[in-house]
Amino acid sequence: MTHQVPAGIGTRPHSARLYDFFLGGKTNYAADRKVAVESLRQFPHAMVAARQNRAFMHRVVRHLARDHGMRQFLDIGTGIPTAPNLHQVAQAEQPGARVVYSDNDPLVLAHARALMNSTPEGATDYIEADVREPEVILEHARSTLDFSRPVALSVIALFHFLPEEDAPYGIIRHLMDALPSGSALALSHATEEFDPEGMRRIVATYRAGGVNLTLRSHKEVLTFFEGLDLVDPGLAATCDWRLDLDTDDVPQLPGMVSPAESGVWAGLAFKP
């Protein structure tokens, strides 16, 4: 699946491309790089924070597939493809895993081919949609995922792009209500609690570029998990969340990165 990049797409910064820049990707435009470089000036840990967040995604997905036998994933706010993508992590453990991706940046769709290289036993699909229309995403996902069996919903580094007026907690509830018992929620979310000054500066830089960030506290982020069973260690900084699961060539040692550098809460919960 290859789509044309829509005309005029690079004129305004977008969160997906800022994140791509911080991860060292090349799928970003001058307008994105301008805000990204200024963000680094204001919060020099932004690249570390992005990589810590991505490493959380790898650990939590590997854990779900390997240790919980999870074979279905609904990933919203997927981001520009960056290997390994979620399905590659899941299918390394469960070759038959089925993954539906969704994002609202048209540039992700233009690169969706990299999300479609599923194992023959498994399946991947992509829908360009906004998380503020959860029913559109659920409707599409039903053609690939079996909603009578557990599904892991991953919304990693997504909900800080939704202000209160978008009713972010209600959106998670809507999505989790559609999934059966045994389903999981993997979520990460930026916070100002570890480095209030640095994070406020990055919020201001993003806002000046037209990208709104809503940071939330530990207590507020816990609200996303209401009615679900949060697993150990609960809500933790991405850099501290289950480092024992890291099987990468260069393991991350406890304390190597501080919460002030990573700036993001992370958690995993199951639906009872």
Ligand X SMILES: C[S@@+](CC[C@H](N)C(=O)[O-])C[C@H]1O[C@@H](n2cnc3c(N)ncnc32)[C@H](O)[C@@H]1O
- Cα–Cα nearest to 172, from 188, 159, 181: 159
Candidate list 36, 52, 77, 259; residue touching ligand X; CB under 6 A: 77
Candidate list 16, 35, 127, 266; residue touching ligand X; CB under 6 A: 16
CB of 186 to ligand X, least distance (A): 10
Instruction: Report which residue's Cβ sits closest to ligand X.
Output: 79
- Report the site for ligand X in 38-67 (rule: CB under 6 A): 53-54, 57
Contact between 126 and 160 under an 8 Å Cβ cutoff? The reply is: no
Is 103 an interacting residue with respect to ligand X (CB under 6 A)? yes
User: Would you give the DSSP letter of residue 95?
Assistant: T
Of 32-40, 99-107, 202-210, 232-240: span binding ligand X (CB under 6 A): 99-107
Of 40-48, 130-138, 142-150, 264-272: span binding ligand X (CB under 6 A): 130-138
* Type and span of the H or E element at 93: helix 86-93
Q: Which CB atom, from 54 or from 140, has the smaller least distance to ligand X?
A: 54
CB of 30 to ligand X, least distance (A): 18
Is 261 an interacting residue with respect to ligand X (CB under 6 A)? no
Contacts 24+ apart (CB under 8 A), 1-7: 1/109, 1/112, 1/113, 1/116, 1/126, 2/110, 2/112, 2/113, 3/106, 3/109, 3/110, 3/112, 4/110, 5/106, 5/107, 5/110, 6/106, 6/110
Contact between 103 and 112 under an 8 Å Cβ cutoff? The reply is: no
CB of 82 to ligand X, least distance (A): 7
- Cα–Cα nearest to 271, from 187, 151, 156, 133: 151
Fill in the per-residue mask, 107 to 126: x = in contact with ligand X (CB under 6 A), - = not in contact.
-x------------------
Fill in the per-residue mask, 157 to 186: x = in contact with ligand X (CB under 6 A), - = not in contact.
xx--x-------------------------
Instruction: Quote the CA–CA distance of 18 and 166 in Å, as a whole number.
Output: 22
Instruction: Quote the CA–CA distance of 15 and 50 in Å, as a whole number.
Output: 12
Candidate list 93, 130, 220, 246; residue touching ligand X; CB under 6 A: 130
Is 19 an interacting residue with respect to ligand X (CB under 6 A)? yes
Length of the chain in residues, anyone? 272
Residues that bind ligand X (CB under 6 A): 15-16, 19, 53-54, 57, 77-79, 103-105, 108, 130-132, 156-158, 161
